[in-house]
Amino acid sequence: MKNIIIHVDMDAFYASVEIRDNPALKGRPLIIGSMPNERGVVATCSYEARKYGVHSGMNIKEAYRQCPDGIYMRPNFDKYKRVSAQLHDIWKTYASASEYIALDEAYLDVKERAKDWNGARKIARFIKQRTKEEAGLSCSVGLAYSKTAAKTASEEKKPDGYFEILDAEAFRELLADRDVRSLYTVGPKTAEKLNAYGIHTVLDIRNNRERVEKLFGKKGIWIADLAMGIDDRDVIPYRSEDAKSISRELTFQEDVSDFVFLKEVLFLLSLSVENRAKRVGFQWKGVSIKITYSDMKSVSRSKSPVDCGTAIEIYNEAVRLLEQVPKMTVRLVGVGIYNLSRDEYRQLTFDDLMGDLSKRHEEEMREVLEALGNHYGLDFAGNLDKLQHMETLHKTVEYMRKHIKKSDTRT
């Protein structure tokens, strides 16, 4: 027995937290995400809302058409992160390795602690009990021999469920007649391609292994292995140093054609990206931007290597990249950094040694903040900490967008 893995998945996490904190919401169709009159999608929803056909990722306007009498709330990510940290503290006590997939989901390697399947069952019960008693929330738990099987098991009896798949034979038997989408690596496009060749069920994949491998190459080998119940992956703890990039992006509630305004937004996003990077001690050598136009077509531009270690330098490079894209009406804008490292010993320049470079960056940043503050009547410099929260940043940008002066002649 190579692995004993538990997959924990919170039930409608954001919605459940809100219902826990406001019992009056219990039994109501609660939708967490954008407001119905805004652009955006459903982040999650209560099981009552799901009865109306609402689901995560659905366009919020479609959700409103399906469930006009639902209760719509914006997500409170700060609260969800606090609850998530509490949950992680509970779960990790039972595992030799914990792999957190999201705020509300984790793979736990419990073989060392459990010793055998009976011990693992006890751990699963403890996890469900403590999650309910200490956090006031329900979770679904899957116990299995592999990560894929554990994930499948946790979905089997939702909500507040428990299910186990102890070997590959049990996995194959369970999924044989199910749609190919029941394998978590098979998305809509992959499923469509499989269906075109008469492959509709997991059993069809097993019976057409050569065709699947020919269609998808290495990915096809992986899909065929999963259909057979083969998955030898270990639980790998997430480490911040493994991150490949850090980015922030914003979708405007109305399309934007003012590229001066876009530059201002790039500056605020650059501040946010720098803050996230510095919190975990990253340096970077690449800067990127993403633009999505009103027709939903996206373009990206990037530059590496670049010598930049501050928000103002990210911003200046982002502005240069922005000048390379077509000037059309924009729906979304984003800034990212990549080629991350923890190397604290970059070669110092003469300006560094004299302290002139950091002073210039501080002065330049202060000038930009003051200019923004004067233009919009906001205290940006005094609210930098608050702007690190995406909800506050989004509200600030929307305020700015609504107050762009028609007479602006900025360039």
Q: State pLDDT tens for residues 108-153.
A: 999 999 999 999 999 999 999 999 999 999 999 999 999 999 999 9
**Residue 254 in contact with residue 401, Cβ under 8 Å?**
yes
User: How many beta carbons lie within 10 A of that of residue 177, not counting itself?
Assistant: 12
Model confidence band, residue 46 (pLDDT cutoffs 50, 70, 90): very high
Q: In this predicted model, what pLDDT tens digit does every residue of 145-185 receive, in sequence order? A: 999 999 999 999 999 999 999 999 999 999 999 999 999 88
Encode 12-31: b = buried (16+ Cβ within 10 Å), e = exposed.
Answer: bbbbbbbbeeeeebeebbbb
Assign domain 1-164 to a CATH class. alpha beta
45-50's contacts with Cβ under 8 Å and 24+ in sequence apart are 45/12, 45/15, 45/70, 46/12, 46/15, 46/16, 46/19, 47/11, 47/12, 47/159, 49/15
> Which region among 57-71, 180-194, 303-317, 349-363 has the lowest average model confidence (pLDDT)?
349-363
Q: What pLDDT does 307 receive?
A: 75
Kindly tell me if the per-residue pLDDT of 278 is higher than 90. Answer: no
Which stretches does DSSP call E strand in 53-130?
71-73, 97-102, 105-109
> Which neighbouring-strand residues pair with 343?
none
> Which neighbouring-strand residues pair with 247?
336
Q: In this predicted model, what pLDDT tens digit does every residue of 303-325 receive, in sequence order? A: 998 877 889 999 999 999 999 99
**pLDDT above 90: percentage of residues in the chain:** 72
Summary mean pLDDT of the chain? 90
Q: What pLDDT does 355 receive?
A: 43
Q: What is the three-class DSSP state of 255?
A: strand
Q: What pLDDT does 150 receive?
A: 98
Question: What CATH number has the domain spanning 241-402?
Answer: 3.30.1490.100
CATH of 172-227, one of 1.10.150.20, 1.10.486.10, 1.10.600.10, 1.10.10.10: 1.10.150.20
Q: What pLDDT does 351 receive?
A: 40
pTM of the model: 0.74
Kindly tell me if the per-residue pLDDT of 369 is higher than 60. Answer: yes
**Residue 138 in contact with residue 131, Cβ under 8 Å?**
yes
Q: What is the three-class DSSP state of 43?
A: strand
Q: What pLDDT does 364 receive?
A: 85
Q: What pLDDT does 276 receive?
A: 84
Identify whether 105 is a catalytic site residue. yes
Q: In this predicted model, what pLDDT tens digit does every residue of 199-209 receive, in sequence order? A: 999 999 999 99
Burial-class residue 156 by CB neighbours within 10 Å (0-12, 13-18, 19+).
middle
Give the domain ranges of the chain: 1-164, 172-227, 241-402
Average pLDDT over residues 283-309: 91
> Which region among 16-20, 172-176, 406-410 has the lowest average model confidence (pLDDT)?
406-410
Q: Active-site residue among 18, 105, 264, 274?
A: 105
**Residue 281 in contact with residue 317, Cβ under 8 Å?**
no
Separation between Cα atoms, residue 250 and residue 336, nearest integer Å: 12
Q: What's 37's DSSP letter?
A: T
Separation between Cα atoms, residue 49 and residue 185, nearest integer Å: 27
Sheet holding 5-10, edge to edge: 97-102, 105-109, 5-10, 139-144, 162-165
User: How many beta carbons lie within 10 A of that of residue 409, not counting itself?
Assistant: 6
Model confidence band, residue 384 (pLDDT cutoffs 50, 70, 90): confident
Separation between Cα atoms, residue 183 and residue 205, nearest integer Å: 11
Kindly tell me if the per-residue pLDDT of 240 is higher than 90. Answer: no
